Amino acid sequence: MVPKTKTKIVCTIGPASQSPNVLRAMLAAGMNVARLNFAHGDFATHLATLNTLREAAVETGQRLAIMGDLPGPKMRIGQLADEPIVLQRDQLFSLYTTERMGDKNGASLSFPGLPQAVKPGDKIFVNDGYIQLLVENVHQEQVDCRVQVGGELLSHKGVNFPGIDLGIAAFTPQDHDYLRFAAEHKLDAISQSFVQRPEDLRAVRQAAAELDYHPFLIAKIERGCAVDRLPVILAEADGIMVARGDLGVEIPIEEIALVQKQLITQANLAGKPVITATHMLESMVAHNRPTRAEATDVANAILDGTDCLMLSGETAMGQFPVESIAVMSRIAQVVEDYDHQHDVPHMLEQARERGDISNADLISLSIYMTVAAVNPIMVVTPTLSGNTARKVCRFRPKVWIVAVSPNEATCQDLQFSYGVHPVHETERPQDWETYVRSWLERHEFREGLVVMTTGHTTAATGGTNRIEIIDLLEPTTDRRLW
């Protein structure tokens, strides 16, 4: 069954969406990827949710990828004696590295290395930046701060250190436990929080490989230093997430829109999926309609070139999880039909003129130009790794890309790619043109042109080197395309 939208929809699963009926409705509304947030819940709850998700996917006949989100080293305020406490501008407030009950004068922080990481003059943001502290004095087990922007503070609120390299790895020992659970239960993808450098991703891959586990690995870009190091992080990741919650605290808020565009463009050029996340339809946590600004935000992310849109609280805790997906789907359908000029073809043309372009880029650019010239009903890409489909989809063709693969894992990975409909075929067809004609006829496509990528007859990956055009009204000679 072809998805409703080319833009893939990632949904966080939580108390509002764990029942079989709601999950079936979410799949029918357009959910493509389910996200398990390991920062909340226990293993028993996640396992029950996982089983229910898979049963719902089978019952509805929908392909569903499941992604586990590793929380990483999220810093949080400790327990407060009475809450909320109200911090006033210019008052002193201390952060302690030892456990203690918090009050209006100070609280503990889940980061033992705090005194070594900060210095007087550094800024510390609490509760998504609504409270801002300025470091005045650093002691062995405490840091004294002056409140610059006050407000209400609750226990366990997050803390950010914009522009400060904390010197800690993103992949924590606790994350290793979550990864072991993901490997045991064969989750399709893993997203690593607070990635700062490619070594963070290598640590995840190495730990996964030791478990004989090879998930699709998403790097969450939510630290300012990760934005600066994006090229090397992209090279190590299978995809990225523009995690605008913490990122919007780490960098000036006025820069977030431009940074989002830059991150998406770089991921598009690399041919790797990108997820845009956080506050997409936040008002739908409590209301059955989004704000006009939220609808515009969703549309602009698609126009920027995002592969996926992610819902967090909207589907995890909100009152309208199914309606949130349906609204996002309707916006995506309208925007996808808009004749928008995408930058990637132009940027690759410039690379070709410079001689700075790979063979895979040349093939995908040729496919894009062929699609623009002949206006086919779809593109068909036999694939082992999914690489060709990902390279083609970054051009945002108006037609679907049908990626046929013998690898179920490849099909699941392609759930993250814009406009790609993965089809799993365990047996290699002997006659690809006959197979394509039969598949299209079953789906009621009876006339028109099909652009098909072809390659060497060997099963080597990266072998796509030709393009063929099939006219459904004119059967032609046998072609072996795998």
> Among 173-182, 243-252, 437-446, which range has the highest average pLDDT?
173-182
Residues 16-36 pLDDT 10s: 999 999 999 999 999 999 999
Helices (H), 229-340: 230-236, 244-250, 256-270, 292-304, 313-316, 321-336
DSSP state of 151: E
Nearest to 70 by CA among 229, 213, 176, 205: 176
CATH 3.40.1380.20 is the classification of domain 343-471: yes
Q: Give the pLDDT band of residue 344 (cuts 50, 70, 90).
A: confident
Percent of the chain with pLDDT over 70: 95
Q: What is the model's pLDDT at position 464?
A: 64
Nearest to 301 by CA among 269, 248, 265: 265
DSSP state of 103: B
- CA-CA-CA-CA torsion for 205, 206, 209, 210, nearest 10 degrees? -150
Over residues 160-184, mean pLDDT = 93
Residues 421-437 pLDDT 10s: 999 988 777 777 788 88
Q: What is the model's pLDDT at position 2?
A: 63
340, HSE (Cβ side, Cα atoms, 13 Å): 17
CA 467 to CA 392: how far, in whole Å?
A: 12
3-state DSSP assignment of residue 214: coil
CATH 2.40.33.10 is the classification of domain 75-160: yes
CA 31 to CA 37: how far, in whole Å?
A: 16
Q: What is the model's pLDDT at position 16?
A: 96
> Among 228-237, 334-343, 357-366, which range has the highest average pLDDT?
228-237
What stretch of H or E contains 203?
helix 198-210
Q: With 60 as the cut, is the pLDDT of residue 476 above it?
A: no
DSSP 342-400: -HHHHHHHHHHHHT---HHHHHHHHHHHHHHHH--SEEEEE-SSSHHHHHHHTT--SSE
In one-letter notation, the amino acid at residue 11 is C
Residues 251-304 pLDDT 10s: 999 999 999 999 999 999 999 999 999 999 999 999 999 999 999 999 999 999
Q: What is the model's pLDDT at position 434?
A: 82
Q: With 60 as the cut, is the pLDDT of residue 482 above it?
A: no
What is the dihedral sign for C-alpha 240, 241, 246, 249? positive
First to last CA, the chain: 23
Fold of 8-72+170-336: TIM Barrel (3.20.20)
Token digits of residue 201: 């991703």
In one-letter notation, the amino acid at residue 348 is L
Cβ neighbourhood burial of 475 (10 Å; 0-12, 13-18, 19+)? exposed
Over residues 321-350, mean pLDDT = 87
Residues 109-146 pLDDT 10s: 989 899 999 999 999 999 888 999 999 999 999 999 99
Cα distances from 132 to residues 94, 176, 224, 418, 427, in angstroms, run 13, 32, 17, 38, 59
Residues 48-88 pLDDT 10s: 999 999 999 999 999 999 999 999 998 999 999 998 999 99
Would you list the domain boundaries of the chain? 8-72+170-336, 75-160, 343-471
Q: What is the model's pLDDT at position 364?
A: 86
Token digits of residue 92: 């002193």
Token digits of residue 185: 């239960």
| Strand arrangement, sheet containing 75-76 | 75-76, 158-160, 123-126, 131-138, 142-149, 92-96, 106-108
CA 3 to CA 414: how far, in whole Å?
A: 12
Residues 85-112 pLDDT 10s: 999 999 999 999 999 999 999 999 989 8
339 CB-near residues (< 8 Å, 6+ apart):
none
Q: Give the pLDDT band of residue 342 (cuts 50, 70, 90).
A: confident
Q: With 50 as the cut, is the pLDDT of residue 334 above it?
A: yes
CA 223 to CA 243: how far, in whole Å?
A: 9
Over residues 159-177, mean pLDDT = 91
3-state DSSP assignment of residue 463: coil
> 417 or 346: which carries more pLDDT confidence?
417
Q: With 70 as the cut, is the pLDDT of residue 248 above it?
A: yes
Backbone φ and ψ for 211, nearest 5 degrees, come out as -95, 10
Q: What is the model's pLDDT at position 63?
A: 96
